[in-house]
C-alpha cells in the first residue's frame, strides 16, 4: 500500500535531506581539509588543475604522472601548510608529520631504497613551489638523506667515491645556504649546483 506524504511530511523530508546533504558536505570538507601531503608516482593524488593547492611544480608533477611520463615518485606538501604555519604562530598541523612519514614510506616502496639505509640509501630533493611564480623562492636542496655514513654506502653502491662525496658536498652546501643561511664566500659561483 502506497503511503501518502502530505506537504508537511514532504517539507520535513526535504529538510532532513538538506540537513544530511549539508552534513555530508561538511564532513567531506573537514576530511579533505586535513590532507596536507599529496603523492605522485605509482599512486598520484593530484592533477594539473590543482595549482592553488599544490603549487605550480606539484600540480605539474602530478599531471605528468597522470599522463604516463616517467617521473620519480615523491610527494607534495600543500600550500595550506604555509598558510597554517603563519596563522598558528609558526607551528605545523599535527597531522603533517605522520602524512609525510607515510609519503616517504610510499617512495621507499616504489624505489626499493630506504631513507638513512647503510646499504641502499634513498636520496630525495626538496623543491619549493607556489601558487604563482615569484622571485626569491627557496632554492632546491638535492641529496637529502646523505650523511657521514650513507655517503659511504653511496660510494660502495656506485663504485665511485668521487661522485658520492661530490653529492655530499653539494648537499651540505645547499643545506647551509638555504636552511642555515650560510653565505657563499666572495667570488664563489654555486649556480651549477642548484640544478
CB 134, CB 97: distance < 8 Å: no
Measured N-to-C along each axis, helices 150-158 and 161-178 cross at an angle, to the nearest 10 degrees, of 140
**Which triple of cell numbers denotes residue 99?**
602524512
Is this prediction's pTM over 0.85? no
Among the listed ranges 23-32, 53-62, 175-184, which one has the minimum average pLDDT value?
23-32
Residue-wise burial string across 5-22, b where 16 or more C-beta atoms lie within 10 A, e elsewhere: eeeeeeeeeeeeeeeeee
pLDDT of residue 185: 60
> 114-195 maps to which CATH number?
1.20.80
Distance, CA of 76 to chain centre: 2
pLDDT digits (tens, 9 = 90+) for 17-51: 344 444 444 443 444 459 999 999 999 999 999 99
What residue ranges do the domains of the chain occupy?
A: 35-112, 114-195
> Each residue of 130-170: pLDDT tens digit?
877 766 667 889 999 999 999 999 999 999 999 999 999 99
68-77 tens-digit pLDDT: 999 999 999 9
Q: How far apart are CA 70 and CA 110, in angstroms?
A: 13
Domain 35-112 CATH assignment equals 3.30.1490.20: yes
Q: Is 127 helix (H, G, I), strand (E, B) or coil?
A: coil
Q: Is it true that 35-112 and 114-195 share their CATH fold? A: no
Q: Please give the Cα distance from 166 to 104 (Å, whole number).
A: 24
Amino acid at each position: 500500500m502506497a503511503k501518502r506524504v502530505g506537504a508537511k511530511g514532504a517539507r520535513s523530508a526535504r529538510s532532513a535531506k538538506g540537513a544530511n546533504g549539508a552534513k555530508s558536505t561538511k564532513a567531506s570538507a573537514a576530511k579533505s581539509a586535513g590532507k596536507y601531503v599529496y603523492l605522485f608516482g605509482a599512486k598520484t593524488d593530484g592533477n594539473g588543475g590543482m595549482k592553488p593547492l599544490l603549487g605550480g611544480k606539484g600540480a605539474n608533477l602530478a599531471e605528468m604522472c597522470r599522463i604516463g611520463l616517467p617521473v620519480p615518485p615523491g610527494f607534495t606538501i600543500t600550500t595550506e601548510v604555509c598558510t597554517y604555519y603563519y596563522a598558528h604562530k609558526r607551528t605545523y598541523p599535527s597531522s603533517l608529520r605522520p602524512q609525510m612519514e607515510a609519503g616517504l614510506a610510499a617512495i621507499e616502496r616504489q624505489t626499493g631504497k630506504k631513507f638513512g639505509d647503510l646499504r641502499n640509501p634513498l636520496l630525495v630533493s626538496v623543491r619549493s613551489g607556489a601558487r604563482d611564480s615569484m622571485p626569491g623562492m627557496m632554492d632546491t636542496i638535492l641529496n637529502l638523506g646523505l650523511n657521514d655514513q650513507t655517503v659511504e654506502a653511496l660510494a660502495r653502491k656506485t663504485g665511485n667515491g668521487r661522485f658520492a662525496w661530490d653529492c655530499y658536498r653539494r648537499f651540505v652546501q645547499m643545506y647551509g645556504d638555504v636552511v642555515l643561511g650560510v653565505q657563499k664566500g666572495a667570488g664563489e659561483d654555486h649556480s651549477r649546483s642548484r640544478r
